[in-house]
Amino acid sequence: MDDEKKFLTEDQVVELMSLFFSCSLLLLREPALYGPLRQLTAAERLAAMVIDDVSPEVRTLLEVALERIPVSHTVTTRRDQYKAIVVELNEALGDCLAARAGLTEGAVA
């Protein structure tokens, strides 16, 4: 991949993952959870494409995504389980953003 031109910066990847995860949380009201499913599928594909080219903090986020998103596809009819996965993804995003900002647990922002 080093010889190929990269089209996204790491910051852009985190921004897109932020959009995918937060939109999936907001779209839980869409019939049959179709909207969140589309968002998470897009996030899953992006994660798979870039996971080898990101920092350890972002890699951790993408690993959570690649582990949990496929599970979410199997629980779409169980709203509480589906919502719990979407919330978990957003929490992983928060952890990633805090790590990238140099914040640690217990630190004052």
Contact 63, 44 (CB under 8 A): no
For 54, the token pair is 């990101």
Q: How far apart are CA 15 and CA 63, in angstroms?
A: 16
For 29, the token pair is 């009201």
Kindly list the domain boundaries of the chain, sorted by start residue: 10-100
Number of other residues whose CB lies within 10 A of the CB of residue 59: 16
- Name the average pLDDT for the chain: 85
Could you read off the pLDDT of 73-101 as tens digits, one per residue?
888 788 899 899 999 999 999 999 999 99
Q: How far apart are CA 95 and CA 78, in angstroms?
A: 26
Could you read off the pLDDT of 48-59 as tens digits, one per residue?
989 999 999 999
Could you read off the pLDDT of 19-69 as tens digits, one per residue?
888 887 877 777 766 777 888 888 998 999 899 999 999 999 999 999 999
